[in-house]
Amino acid sequence: MSRDCRIRLALLALVAALSWGAREARSARFQRLAAGGGQPAPAAEWFSAEPDGLYHVRRVERALAEGLPPAPRDPAMAFPAGAPIPWPPYYDALLAVAARPVVGPPPAGDRTHWRNRLERFAATLPVVFGAATSVAAAAAGAALAGPPGLLAVGLLHALSYGAIHYSVPGVADHHAFVSLLLALLLLLVAEAIRRRAFARPGAGWRFGAAAGVAAGLLLGTWVASLVFVVVVQAALGLWVVWVCWRRRPAPGLAPFGLGFHLAALLTVLPAVLQSPWRETQPWMVVNLSWFHPLHLAAGAVVFLPLWGWPVASPWRRRWPFLVAGALAAAAAALALAGAGPVAGIREGFAWAARANVFMGDIAESQPLLGPDRYGTGGLFGWLGYTVLLVPAAWPFGLWALRRRPDLLPWLVALPVLLAQALAQRRFAADAALPLAVLVGWGLASGLPRGRWRWLALPAAVLLQLPGVAKVADGLAHRRPDQTDLEAVRMNGLRAAHEWLGAHAAPDSSVMAHWDQGHAIELLTGMGSVATNFGSYVGEEGFTDAARFFTAQDLEAAEWLLDRHRCRYVLVHGGPLWAWDQLRAAAGGTAAEAWRSSLAGILYRPDAAPPWLRLRWVAPFRDPDLPDGVLPAVALIYEHVPGARLEASVPPGAEVELGIPVAVPGGVAAFTWRIAAAADAGGRVRFRLPYPGKAVLSWEAGRIEVAVSEEAVATGARLTAGDD
């Protein structure tokens, strides 16, 4: 191994260590807080609160129990109907294969401890993907500008908060893996150009097939990766136009294009064949359907004629324009017919319009441009001051393209991915990659040769000062305790989920705000009504949960509980924080104000509507904080049949019934009350969700009735006052 190679490997290891450290500093692990004390539980007892990652854990658990491939539908979502899973299966299949040697197969009995180990494994692996992505970016910088470029690009990517966000410990989502595959895809295309693979058929086939596998894995992991495939197709299309119009020989270009599209098609095809949308919406763009293999097959057809035409052929020179004309004509014909892929594209736009109520209000869908609604730092906080150099770096790259043609994929990718990130910050991780490569290359190659080029390193750190500040802030807050309100809140919600799991009822669900859906599906063994996929899938459950929490009509609320077989209702701050979104989703049935809605009423257990047959069974709050410092993190109500009490009293008497209630844990006690008027025959009827000593009183009398837990749980009929 040469000295230069050893130096580069050492620098890549340095970038990997820095990237890993930055992600560790921003850890999203939540350490369990010891009950009744101010100290955290043992370090191994941490958990993840990131909802999408928790659903990946659920899907992997099912794959390990039921076998691969991961199931395309989940009966626990939008319970009891179930719903298709919008994510393709490849990431969860990878997690299942990687997790089995570490956590073993699911045990036959209680899976709680095993599931916690699986959760921690899945929420640690993205750190590896994030560090590997920084290394891939640094490798691109090394190919473009040597060791100074390697470190400049590596630093810009490793310290970019947009790149860090999805690859920290405690986040088990797939986006870190997507970013790694994107880095490999663009790096393979750039290397193919740098190594002149377009001039050699054998090299064209090899590089094209490798890039195609990366593209197929991307589509089989996240369908929105179609944008990345189009970026590569655009770069190849520009190369085709150049070699055809200038009559340049490129014997490896057609093999690369064919290898890329065919390998991508074959790689993604198993996921397409398993997709639940293949039959119901066969041309859907936003979910895997026949549209995606057709798109790749059409891409392969574009390169097929280039294989046999001689360089001087007039047809070869005209081919790019013939392709453009044929595509335009086909698109126009399909648009007029309203069929095939055009129907899928239209449905994609229609879905986006329907999802605005949900997508427009969640944090990761917020734009990087404009007001920073969630206080996360805005454009500079996510991508650093690096974006300020784009107006200089991108034209500089265009100017250098003749001598550095391997810049092409990065030049094509940057405006597309940056525009996506400006519109939705979830794409910041993808935009950070070409941004780091082009700006890092510009810094290193724009300086005079020699030691001057190492000035690119401090420049890179200065450009990522917002990311450095976030890393420093993470290091300063690494020891959670009972005074950390976010840690308390997450521990309270986790305790609520685990309580539900310990008291799960078969063939039932939990009514909760959509942000608790994935945790309910993983941890409780029961179904969810609304899930974190929002209106993406199970739209009826999403709107029904909104109607329930915003309800003023108690009969309608009771009907929704029965419709979804809800055994429990979980109440937390979500309906308050997302009140406008819930009212929009519920439509005309919503209450005007949160306090007058069912969610606001249920947050005060002593004021819960007596006719809903809901009883307060568990509060979750920090026991060490005095009242008034932190309200209950979560309240759980059980939906019970209720004892049917019929009492004989004077005709027309106004009867009030009260039952003293002591909630388990001793944190509260109150008297549950309900009132009704006796009919002309002197009969008054109540439905009682609480057991205990019921006291019926009216102006001239009083009756005491013992109500058993069995009577409440079975809906037994009780009588009183007949003696």
Pick from 124, 141, 159: which residue ends a domain? 124
**Residues 426 and 465 both lie in one domain:** yes
**Residues 313 and 387 both lie in one domain:** yes
On the question of pLDDT at 450 being above 70, the answer is: no
Average pLDDT over residues 28-50: 69
In a domain? residue 519: yes
pLDDT range class, residue 487, cuts 50, 70, 90: confident
On the question of pLDDT at 130 being above 50, the answer is: yes
**Residues 618 and 688 both lie in one domain:** no
In contact, 58 and 519? CB cutoff 8 Å: no
Whole-angstrom distance, CA of residue 180 vs CA of residue 37: 41
pLDDT, position 431:
95
**Residues 617 and 665 both lie in one domain:** no
Q: Does the predicted model carry a pTM greater than 0.85?
A: yes
Residue 672 backbone dihedrals phi, psi, to 5 degrees? -80, 130
**What is the CATH number for 696?**
2.60.40.3390
In a domain? residue 370: no
pLDDT, position 619:
73
In contact, 200 and 56? CB cutoff 8 Å: no
pLDDT, position 355:
47
On the question of pLDDT at 68 being above 70, the answer is: yes
| Domain of 234, in residue numbers | 129-336+378-473
Mean pLDDT of the chain: 85
Percent of the chain, pLDDT > 70?
Answer: 85
**Residues 435 and 423 both lie in one domain:** yes
On the question of pLDDT at 556 being above 50, the answer is: yes
**What is the CATH number for 617?**
3.40.50.12610
In a domain? residue 648: yes
Identify the residue with better confidence: 607 or 204: 204
pLDDT, position 623:
45
pLDDT, position 485:
73
**Residues 635 and 647 both lie in one domain:** no
Identify the residue with better confidence: 41 or 49: 49
Residue 694: strand pairing partners? 705
Decide: helix, strand or coil at residue 265.
helix
**Residues 628 and 670 both lie in one domain:** no
**Residues 467 and 586 both lie in one domain:** no
- Give the model confidence (pLDDT) of 348-366 as tens digits: 555 544 445 555 566 677 7
- Give the model confidence (pLDDT) of 319-333 as tens digits: 777 777 777 777 676
pLDDT, position 630:
38
Average pLDDT over residues 470-479: 78
On the question of pLDDT at 404 being above 90, the answer is: yes
Residue of 471, 371, 387, 474 whose CA lies nearest to 428:
387
Whole-angstrom distance, CA of residue 216 vs CA of residue 225: 9
In a domain? residue 495: yes
In contact, 244 and 317? CB cutoff 8 Å: yes
Tokens of 569: 């209702």
Whole-angstrom distance, CA of residue 66 vs CA of residue 585: 35
- Give the model confidence (pLDDT) of 164-188 as tens digits: 999 999 999 999 999 999 999 999 9
**Residues 568 and 698 both lie in one domain:** no
**Residues 511 and 602 both lie in one domain:** yes
Q: Is the peptide bond before 86 cis (omega within 30 degrees of 0)?
A: no
**What's the total number of domains in the chain?**
4
In contact, 165 and 115? CB cutoff 8 Å: no
47, exposed or middle or buried, with CB in 10 Å at 0-12, 13-18, 19+?
buried
On the question of pLDDT at 107 being above 80, the answer is: yes
In a domain? residue 357: no
Percent of the chain, pLDDT > 90?
Answer: 50
pLDDT, position 225:
94
In a domain? residue 6: no
Whole-angstrom distance, CA of residue 40 vs CA of residue 44: 11
On the question of pLDDT at 497 being above 60, the answer is: yes
In a domain? residue 4: no
3-state secondary structure 143-194: HHHHHHHHHHHHHHHHCCHHHHHHHCCCCCCCHHHHHHHHHHHHHHHHHHHH
Decide: helix, strand or coil at residue 458.
helix
pLDDT, position 446:
77
Whole-angstrom distance, CA of residue 678 vs CA of residue 721: 13
Identify the residue with better confidence: 722 or 277: 277
Alpha helices (H) in 608-693, listed in sequence order = none
In contact, 600 and 587? CB cutoff 8 Å: no
In a domain? residue 367: no
Average pLDDT over residues 12-20: 94
- Give the model confidence (pLDDT) of 79-104 as tens digits: 999 999 989 999 999 999 999 999 99
pLDDT range class, residue 624, cuts 50, 70, 90: very low
pLDDT range class, residue 591, cuts 50, 70, 90: low
Identify the residue with better confidence: 531 or 568: 568
349, exposed or middle or buried, with CB in 10 Å at 0-12, 13-18, 19+?
exposed
> How distant, in Å, are the alpha carbons of 60, 105, 217, 232, 275 from that of 67?
10, 10, 20, 34, 17
pLDDT range class, residue 575, cuts 50, 70, 90: low
pLDDT, position 34:
64
- Top-confidence range, 3-12, 264-273, 570-579: 264-273
**Residues 204 and 184 both lie in one domain:** yes
Average pLDDT over residues 260-265: 97
Q: Which of 160-164, 242-246, 291-295, 430-434 has the lowest mean pLDDT?
A: 242-246
On the question of pLDDT at 492 being above 60, the answer is: yes
Pairing between β-strand 643-648 and β-strand 717-720 as defined by DSSP bridges: parallel
pLDDT, position 361:
61
Pick from 99, 124, 149: which residue ends a domain? 124
Q: Which of 9-18, 404-413, 661-670 has the lowest mean pLDDT?
A: 661-670
**Residues 449 and 435 both lie in one domain:** yes
